[in-house]
Amino acid sequence: MTATKLMLNEITRVYHDGDTELTVLNKLSLEVKAGELVAVMGPSGSGKSTFLSIAGALLTPTSGEVLIDGESLAGKNGQQLSKLRLHNIGFIFQSANLLPYLKVEEQLMLVAKLADMDKRAAQARSAMLLERLGLLHRRSAYPNQLSGGEKQRVAIARAWMNDPAILFADEPTASLDASRGQDVVAMLAREVKAEGKAAVMVTHDERVLHLCDRILHLKNGVLVSA
């Protein structure tokens, strides 16, 4: 039986602005299993950022429950959520968000250090991930020496460094041309399968949808199949 890596049960998020009440997510539910790459699409203002923030334990829903790798986020304090994000969740952003003063390998090792990973084990995992993503020969390069595609591949490796249950990618191809965008998402899809994990990608890029296992649209606060 395939393990469920992400479960959102009837998530509602309401914002208040004076007397105005805005329901951005309305009893939204989603289940993502190991080995799945799920694309989430929707126009600006549809709630994609709110959805991603709640699923990634960055924002608390007004009601409903989020489970990461079977563990409920309900009742956790800020410190507990921070620890959970560090160990159970990986993030890839629109721009790679690499630290400019760290070499490629150091980007990954910093994440491992924050999670108190054994240094020798971290070095071995870093080398394995960089080799699998075709970056081992670039491990001593600084971000300003990398192409856009290479930066995003480093971001993928960094996101997998602590062996998270699920990875969230926010518009990972937005700053890349079509060819590099395809390469990055293809590698992301391969890593999801290789690691036995799951990933949710928010995207506007229809050119990479064929690489995803499912395509969902965020409409009227809920996710619907394409």
DSSP per-residue codes, 141-183: --GGGS-HHHHHHHHHHHHHTT--SEEEEESTTTTS-HHHHHH
* Model confidence, pTM: 0.89
Do 137 and 150 contact (CB within 8 A), yes or no? Answer: no
Kind and range of the H or E run holding 71? strand 71-72
What does each of the 226 residues of the chain score in pLDDT, given as a tens digit? 678 899 999 999 999 888 889 899 999 999 999 999 999 999 888 899 999 999 999 999 999 999 999 999 998 999 999 999 988 999 988 778 899 999 999 999 999 999 899 999 999 999 999 998 889 999 999 999 999 889 988 998 999 898 899 999 998 888 778 888 888 899 889 889 988 889 999 998 999 999 999 999 999 999 999 7
Q: Structural domains in the chain?
A: 4-225 (3.40.50.300)
pLDDT of amino acid 180: 81
Which strands form 63-68's sheet, in the order they lie side by side?
20-33, 4-17, 63-68, 71-72
pLDDT of amino acid 1: 61
3-state secondary structure 14-30: EEEECCEEEEEEEEEEE
